[in-house]
Amino acid sequence: MAKVKMKSNRSAKKRFKITATGKIKRWKAGGAHYNTKKSKKRKRALRKPDLVHPSWEDKVRGMLKEF
């Protein structure tokens, strides 16, 4: 009987993308609501994606089960 394949974490697949160089891209939290009190600079920074910290990369890759 064949082994059961490991399933990837579906919520992680929606939240993270792998870049062409193999790094993991994420989007910043905190930009969805209560924006009137935030500065323009802060809201503009929240729009841009960021990279996952190297100490977290192994954990995120484990959830994605692709690499």
- 3-class SS of residue 25: strand
Q: Reduced to 3 DSSP states, what percent helix, strand and coil does the chain have, rounded to the nearest 5?
A: 35, 10, 50
In a domain, 14, yes or no: no
Which two structure tokens, joined as six digits, stand for 17?
């993308």
Which two structure tokens, joined as six digits, stand for 31?
């930009």
In a domain, 52, yes or no: yes
Residues 14 and 50: beta-carbon distance below 8 Å: no
pLDDT (0 to 100) of residue 66: 66
In a domain, 35, yes or no: no
* Cα–Cα distance for residue pair 57/30, rounded to 1 Å: 21
In a domain, 67, yes or no: yes
pLDDT tens per residue across span 17-58: 999 999 999 999 999 999 999 999 999 999 999 999 999 999
Which two structure tokens, joined as six digits, stand for 4?
């059961």
Our count of domains for the chain comes to 1
Which domain range does residue 49 map to?
22-28+40-67
In a domain, 45, yes or no: yes
In a domain, 34, yes or no: no
* Cα–Cα distance for residue pair 32/51, rounded to 1 Å: 19
pTM to 2 decimal places:
0.78
